[in-house]
Amino acid sequence: MKATYPLSVGLLVLAIVAARASADDSPAAPSVSPPEKFTLRYRFQPGETVRWEVLQQARVRTTVSDTTQVAETVTKSVKAWRVKDVEPDGTATFEHLVESVDMRNQFTDRPEVRYRSLTDEQPPPGFEGVAQSIGVPIAVVKMDSHGEILHRERKPVKAAAQNNEGLMTIPLPGEPIAIGHTWNLPCNVDVPLENGTVKKVKTLQTFKLQSVKTGVATIEVATRILTPLHDPALEAKLIQREQSGTVRFDLDAGRVLGQQMDLDRRVVGFTPNNPVSSLHYVTRFTETLLADPPDVASRPESHTAELKK
């Protein structure tokens, strides 16, 4: 005996068959490709010398009671890494030195003081230590391919550009990373206090891979003070730590092409018993990789006017 089905059931079966056939004929959904990842590593060759032009600018405006003082410094230098040895894993040992410097200081109601190491036979008073350090290794550094300083032997000389050396190296992640990836570097800072004790302050540097174009990675850098600070005098001592900016890194060459770090920070009440005292600190640190033998004395001073706004 044949089984019979209501008309509605038959139509339902046909609809299901048609839907399955339509699904089989429809194009497959496009697959989502994983984001491209990039490997960041330092790369050096034994015997090479890598040079950067460094420009450091600072304008400090201090007001105590009814007196305001302004100090401006501009230091333009050429720093060099003379690579002595490179191990198979990429760990490099190099001498860090400053080859030339052009620096000037000016304070309220005082004439400008300037020293150019390439042209001045004698440094002005107060710059003798700087003159003695030109061309002399400041430190011998051993660094792995991720930018971690494994050993640093400091030499007994004054750094020719000692206001703010910026980041000596950018720490790089151990694994390949995609655009938008962030990584951190915690650091403890010892701050000497007036009573002879030392306060440990926690800071955190944050790095973010912002973009990669034509083999150049742009990395955002920011520094935060993690330890709560309730004393303006302590804030004033840490004011230079809160710089932020960007670094350009050559993926193929394995070195920093350039960086710029800026700071514009004001602290009020930093002197005892003077709640209206103020300290306004504006700095800019720029660094540019040099491809040709440098002549720091002939290069124009750029960005100086921006600090005066």
Query: Using one digit for the tens of pLDDT, what is the confidence trace for 151-194?
Result: 999 877 655 544 444 567 899 999 999 999 999 999 988 888 88
Q: Which range has the worst mean pLDDT, 20-29, 50-59, 243-252?
A: 20-29
- Burial, 56: exposed, middle or buried (Cβ in 10 Å; 0-12, 13-18, 19+)? buried
CA dist 94 and 48 (Å) reads 10
Percent of the chain with pLDDT over 70: 81
Q: Which two tokens stand for residue 283?
A: 């700095």
Question: How far is the CA of 293 from the CAs of 95, 99, 139, 204, 305, in angstroms?
Answer: 18, 11, 22, 36, 27
Beta carbons of 86 and 44 less than 8 angstroms apart = yes
What confidence tens digit (pLDDT) does each residue in 85-108 have? 999 999 999 999 999 999 999 999
Q: With 70 as the cut, is the pLDDT of residue 256 above it? A: yes
| One-letter-per-residue 3-state SS of the chain | CCCCCCHHHHHHHHHHHHHHHHHHHCCCCCCCCCCCEECCCCCCCCCCEEEEEEEEEEEEEEEECCEEEEEEEEEEEEEEEEEEEECCCCCEEEEEEEEEEEEEEEECCCCCEEEECCCCCCCCCCCHHHHHHCCCCCEEEEECCCCCEEEEEECCCCCCCCCCCCCCCCCCCCCCEECCCEEEEEEEEEEECCCCCEEEEEEEEEEEEEEEECCEEEEEEEEEECCCCCCHHHHHHCHHHCCEEEEEEECCCCEEEEEEEEEEEEEECCECCECCCEEEEEEEEEEEEECCCCCHHHCCCCCHHHHHC
Question: Is the torsion defined by CA of 44, 154, 262, 102 positive or negative?
Answer: negative
Angle at 91 between CA 78 and CA 291, to 5 degrees: 30
CB proximity list for 275: less than 8 A, separation 6 or greater = 268, 269
- Closest by Cα among 227, 220, 215, 157 to 186: 227
- Phi, psi of 261, rounded to the nearest 5 degrees: -120, 135
pLDDT at 158: 57
Angle at 112 between CA 116 and CA 99, to 5 degrees: 20
User: 195 pLDDT band (50/70/90 cuts)?
Assistant: confident
- Global pTM reads 0.81
pLDDT at 231: 87
Mean pLDDT of 261-278: 88
The CATH class, in words, for 37-308 is: mainly beta
